[in-house]
């Protein structure tokens, strides 16, 4: 129905610039020049999906010298915070010297069925 693709717009994500020339990651402000480059990627995603055939496999075509592919993945997966780096400058990023925390989320099913009984005996 296209509702998910309608959520892929600049205001629904926090973009973090991780370009190689930076000492540490910085938030991309909507008024910055980098936001225009990100908006081009958003526009490309919208254009390609809007011209797709429903219920068919869709192959998106992005030029990796123009579009930051990790950003595309983050947008399509729906991550609320998406990394971006200027691919015109380098395919490297500034995260190599930044300590990162890895979070894992898991689920362990309970063994056996859940059984409930009334709290009051009759």
Ordered by start, the domain boundaries in the chain are: 3-97
pLDDT digits (tens, 9 = 90+) for 69-114: 888 888 888 888 999 999 988 888 998 877 778 877 777 776 666 5
Confidence of residue 60 (pLDDT cuts 50, 70, 90): confident
**pLDDT at residue 6 in the model:** 66
Q: In this structure, what token pair is assigned to residue 11?
A: 């205001």
- Nearest CA-CA partner of 98 in 35, 8, 18: 18
18 has pLDDT over 90 = yes
3-state secondary structure the chain: CCHHHHCCCHHHCEEEECECCCCCCEECCCCCHHHHHHHHHHHHHHHHHHCCCCCCCCCCCCCCCCCCHHHHHHHHHCCCEEEECCCCCCCCEHHHHCCCCCCCCCCCCCCCCCCCCCCCCC
Average pLDDT, the chain: 80
């Amino acid at each position: 129905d296209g509702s998910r693709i309608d959520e892929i717009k600049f205001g629904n994500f926090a973009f973090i610039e991780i370009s190689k020339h930076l000492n540490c990651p910085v938030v991309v402000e909507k008024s910055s020049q980098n936001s225009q480059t990100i908006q081009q990627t958003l526009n490309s995603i919208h254009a390609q999906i809007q011209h797709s055939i429903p219920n068919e496999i869709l192959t998106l075509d992005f030029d990796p010298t123009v579009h930051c592919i990790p950003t595309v993945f983050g947008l399509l997966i729906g991550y609320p915070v998406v990394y971006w780096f200027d691919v015109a400058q380098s395919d490297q990023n500034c995260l190599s010297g930044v300590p990162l925390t890895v979070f894992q989320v898991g689920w362990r099913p309970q063994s056996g069925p859940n059984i409930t009984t009334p709290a009051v005996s009759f």
